[in-house]
Amino acid sequence: MHSFDELLAYFEDNLKEQKFINEPEELYAPISYTLALGGKRIRPVLTLMACDIFGGNYKDALPQAIAIEMFHNFTLIHDDIMDNAPIRRGRATVYKKWSPNIAILSGDTLFAYAYQFAQKADKNIVQDILSVFNKTAIEVCEGQQYDLNFETRNDVSVEEYVKMIRLKTAVLFGASLKIGSIIGGADKDESEKLYNFALNIGLGFQLKDDLLDTFGDESIFGKKTGGDILTNKKTFLFLKALELAEEDTKKQLLKYYSSTEYNDEDKIERVKSIFSKLSVDTITETEIDKYFKDGIKFLESMNISRENKDELYKLAFKMIHRSN
């Protein structure tokens, strides 16, 4: 099989070929800009990889790999409006660089293009592919809505949080592999196992995001830590801390998350110290490891070669045990 890096290089080369130089320029420039910003490209490579694993020609899965990357970027463009996020991958977000209206509309257009690519498949499997794609698109929207709802709620449980990140983040990893496996010719049972593998790894991936944002080593993480604390984001760490804390500590924590009397450094230090005292960092690590192991169980139960399992294992390990 082909390695992650080989497939990544193939994908990048071909994504570059997609030129959005159409008119009106205001609509297409933000699309080119967003797709060129980069990112890890894990999702599209997963699609190529799954096709490869089941004996398909990975090049046959290119349109769907592009569709998934386009869909992912569409969600980022719209999420950045909703989250008032001025910076993404070190550059101004579309709504900030252009305007919210242009961000809405270029996002919509990118979504339509994603579908244009998604349907480029053999007619015997196109509806299976689109069913996964549609279901996932709807779930990702649901996840984002839960995330928005959580901002104004004070009674979010850890369980609800996990449901939210499953929808907002993990299902797209699942869909990326599942769609690739359909193109590669996998049977339903194997596709489903691969999906569940990715779902668990995706959950671990997101919890790792939460952990790094607060406890990452800044020199490796590549940006300042504490962003989630400063924006009062209800992450796994925060919700777990609330769940574990005694009444006094809980009050303290809620005060830090609602008061403006602390300066940034001070607030981050105080919250981190509560997290550490409650061992929330270790607990999160353990939880991530649990998801990793649950994912690997699905992988091991699959009827594919050792070599293929190892390649997916390596990728899952990299996604979860990363430092940035």
Q: Which residues bind a copy of itself (CB under 8 A)?
A: 22-24, 26-27, 78, 81-82, 100-102, 104-105, 107-109, 111-113, 115-116, 119, 123-124, 126-127, 130-131, 134-135, 137-138, 141-142, 144-146, 148-149
Nearer to a copy of itself, 127 or 324 (CB): 127
Nearer to a copy of itself, 82 or 158 (CB): 82
Considering the complex, what minimum distance in angstroms separates the CB of residue 64 from a copy of itself?
14
Considering the complex, what minimum distance in angstroms separates the CB of residue 143 from a copy of itself?
9
Considering the complex, what minimum distance in angstroms separates the CB of residue 148 from a copy of itself?
6
Considering the complex, what minimum distance in angstroms separates the CB of residue 35 from a copy of itself?
16
Nearer to a copy of itself, 39 or 100 (CB): 100
Nearer to a copy of itself, 50 or 77 (CB): 77
Nearer to a copy of itself, 116 or 154 (CB): 116
182 vs 237: CA distance, rounded Å:
36
Nearer to a copy of itself, 24 or 90 (CB): 24
Nearer to a copy of itself, 108 or 294 (CB): 108
Considering the complex, what minimum distance in angstroms separates the CB of residue 43 from a copy of itself?
17
Considering the complex, what minimum distance in angstroms separates the CB of residue 192 from a copy of itself?
20
Considering the complex, what minimum distance in angstroms separates the CB of residue 116 from a copy of itself?
4
Query: What radius of gyration do the chain's Cα atoms show?
Result: 20
Amino acid at 238: F
In 3D, which of 118, 20, 21 has the Cα closest to residue 67?
118
Nearer to a copy of itself, 150 or 262 (CB): 150
- Using H for helix, E for strand and C for coil, what is the string for the chain? CCCHHHHHHHHHHHHHHCCCCCCCHHHHHHHHHHHHCCCCCHHHHHHHHHHHHCCCCHHHHHHHHHHHHHHHHHHHHHHHHHCCCCEECCEECHHHHCCHHHHHHHHHHHHHHHHHHHCCCCCCCHHHHHHHHHHHHHHHHHHHHHHHHHHCCCCCCHHHHHHHHHHHHHHHHHHHHHHHHHHHCCCHHHHHHHHHHHHHHHHHHHHHHHHHHHHCCHHHHCCCCCHHHHCCCCCHHHHHHHHHCCHHHHHHHHHHHHCCCCCHHHHHHHHHHHHHHCCHHHHHHHHHHHHHHHHHHHHHCCCCCHHHHHHHHHHHHHHHCCCC
Considering the complex, what minimum distance in angstroms separates the CB of residue 233 from a copy of itself?
16
